[in-house]
Structures are given as structure tokens and as C-alpha cells.
Amino acid sequence: MTLKHIAALVVVTLLILPGLVTAEDAPPGFAFNEPGAYAEYANFHGGAGTIRYSEYWGSDDYRTRLRFMRVVVIPPKCSIGEYRLADSDEVIVILNGFPDVTIDGRTGTLAKDTLVPVKRGSSLGIYNPTDSDVTLAWTAATLEKGVYNPVDLGNDLAAAKPEGIIPFPHLFLNYHIFGPTGNPSHLGLGSLVETLGGIDFDYFETHLNTRFFIVPAGASIGYHTHFTNEEHFFVVKGTGRATVDDVTRSLKAFDCIKVGLDSTHGIYNNSAEDLVIFFTNLPDEGVEGWGKLNNIGDDLSDR
């Protein structure tokens, strides 16, 4: 068997087994960032060089039309090649570095702590022109469950020139555009702090909701159950602990929890610093907005 055949077999295996590189001892609903376990993928979407990534969950892990949650490392002078979103809406969050992001043929340089929503029908690609790694979180939702057919456009974007003003929608993690929600979240402690004007359910065709929010020190999202929506809570920075279906684990930067239909969950910030979350929520077919849920009344402070 040649090296080319071996490489192809590795790629096929990763596509068949989503979440292969997730920690084996992670309880259901938890994914922990382990950089040493990342897989490699050469010329991803026709990009330059080889990226590294960890697919926390894939399509078969969801009951809704969520497609994946990944953490991707783009080394210097490497890229995710330009591709068109034929049947998906996607969101990337820059976690580290200064990549050049190209959407619909227009390029802007972004810094860490920036969320970029990309609508179905648009094209997307990311090039790292710097001498340091770029790290990003990446998630997608599809119009039809199990149908995901992105179209590679054959451009590695190494020659793309960034414009002076970022020419596409983005949301920067800026504390000046945050505000308190005013009420405890799901009967938890304190009050969350959210981005003003996040990406609400009516922005995307798939109705994916996404935003940044902060769980302040000593605050919590109370224990509650979603019956009709699936969620991700991805830690951008800070530490805390999460409870999913009566299992409690500590969380650190780049860890994530996935909350499936009928799962009971909540988060408590037991640290002295802010816990910053990249959040997504997707309603099931035929469900509008936040759908049906039940607040348990446990603030999780004693877990």
C-alpha cells in the first residue's frame, strides 16, 4: 500500500467516524481539547499545506440538522481553501492568531475573539499569512439532515489581498457591546452578560442561533431541559464546570458541551474570572425559536 493510499484511508476513516479524535474518556455531551490528538488533513478544500483538526462531533451525533463542531489549527502559510456553502449555514470563531478570511471573494484580516456567520450560498476560505498558528472553532447546520455538499472552488487564497475595512458581517468579542440579561438564566445564580444583537434565529435559513455570552464569577445557567433544540457551549476563555444529564465536569478553554434533545444541562462559574462562551442553538424541524423547555430549579452551585 502506497503512502497516498494510506493517507486516503485515514481521511475516509475520519469522515466515517466523526469525533474519532475526541478524548475516549469524555462522558456523553462533553468534548475536551487535546492538541496532541489532532488529525492532519492536507489541502483541505483545496487549501495550501496541511491543517490539523479535532472533530468533536459529527452529523450522526445530533438529532437535529447540526453537522459538526470542530477545532481547527491552520499553521503558517496554510489555508482552508475557498468553497461554496451549497446546503449549509456555518459559523467560525477565531480563537488565536490573525488569519485572512475570504467571504464571497472579499478578504479581511481578523483577530482572535471574532465570530463570523456565513450564510448558505456564500463562499468561504481562510489563509494564515503569519508566522504563528491560527486556531478557530467551526460549526455548521444544514437545510436537510445528513446532506452536506460543499463545492470546492480551486483557490488556496494564498494570493488574496485583505481590504482595509472588513467587508463582511462579523461580531467581535468587545465588552463595550455587552449588556446584562437582567434575569437569572434558567433559575441560576446572577445574570449572564450577552452580546447586544447576536445572530438570532431569523438570520440564517437553517435558523441557527449563535452569539458570545459571559457567565460572571459565581453565576450560573440553571439546570434545565430542552425538548426541541440542540445546543453547543464552547469555552472561548476562562474556566468553570458543566453538568449534562447529572454528570459534572470541569471546563477549560476550547472545551465544549453538546446538549441534545431531551438532555438536562447547566453551567456554573466556580472561578474568580469571567467564563466566556461561544454558543449555538438549533431548533428541530418545525420548531420556532427556543421551543419547549423545562427549568428544574437547581442553580448547580452544590454540584
Which residues contact residue 175 at a Cβ distance below 8 angstroms, ignoring those fewer than 6 apart? none
* 3-state DSSP assignment of residue 169: coil
Q: Which long-range contacts (CB under 8 A, 24 or more apart) does 75-78 make?
A: 75/49, 75/50, 75/51, 75/128, 75/133, 76/128, 76/130, 76/131, 76/132, 76/133, 77/48, 77/49, 77/128, 77/129, 77/158, 78/47, 78/48, 78/49, 78/50, 78/51, 78/127, 78/128
The pLDDT tens digits of the residues spanning 219-231 come to 999 999 999 999 9
Quote the CA–CA distance of 215 and 217 in Å, as a whole number.
7
Distance of CA 200 to the CA centre of its chain: 16
pLDDT of 196:
64
Note the pLDDT tens digit of each residue in 177-208.
666 777 889 999 998 888 766 799 999 999 99
Which are the contacts of 84, defined by CB distance < 8 A and separation ≥ 6? 121, 122, 123, 124, 150, 151, 153
**What pLDDT is recorded for position 182?**
72
Q: What is the pLDDT of residues 225-271, one digit of tens each?
A: 999 999 999 999 999 999 999 999 999 999 999 999 999 999 999 99
- CATH number for the segment(s) 3-172: 2.60.120.10
- Gap between the Cα atoms of 73 and 278, Å rounded: 17
> Which cell numbers hold the place of 131?
508566522
CB burial of 187-224 (b: ≥16 within 10 Å; e: otherwise) equals bbbbbbbbbeebbebebbebbbbbbbbbbbeebbbbbb
Domain 175-295 adopts which CATH fold?
A: Jelly Rolls (2.60.120)
Task: Supply the DSSP symbol for 177.
Answer: G
**C-alpha span between 98 and 106 (Å, rounded):** 16
Tell me the backbone φ, ψ of residue 11, rounded to 5 degrees.
Answer: -65, -45
**Confidence at residue 19, expressed as pLDDT on a 0 to 100 scale:** 37
Task: Confirm whether 3-172 and 175-295 share one CATH topology.
Answer: yes
pLDDT of 176: 63
Strand arrangement of the beta sheet that strand 39-42 belongs to = 39-42, 50-57, 66-74, 134-142, 88-96, 114-118, 171-172
Residue among 112, 113, 125, 39 at smallest CA distance from 78: 125
Q: Do residues 285 and 218 lie in contact, with contact meaning Cβ atoms separated by under 8 Å? A: no
Specify the pLDDT at position 228. Answer: 97
Cell of 73: 489549527
Is the pTM here over 0.85, yes or no? yes
Q: Which pLDDT score, from 0 to 100, does residue 7 have?
A: 41
Domain boundaries, the chain: 3-172, 175-295
* pLDDT for the residue 11: 41
Q: Which residues of the chain have pLDDT under 50?
A: 1-23
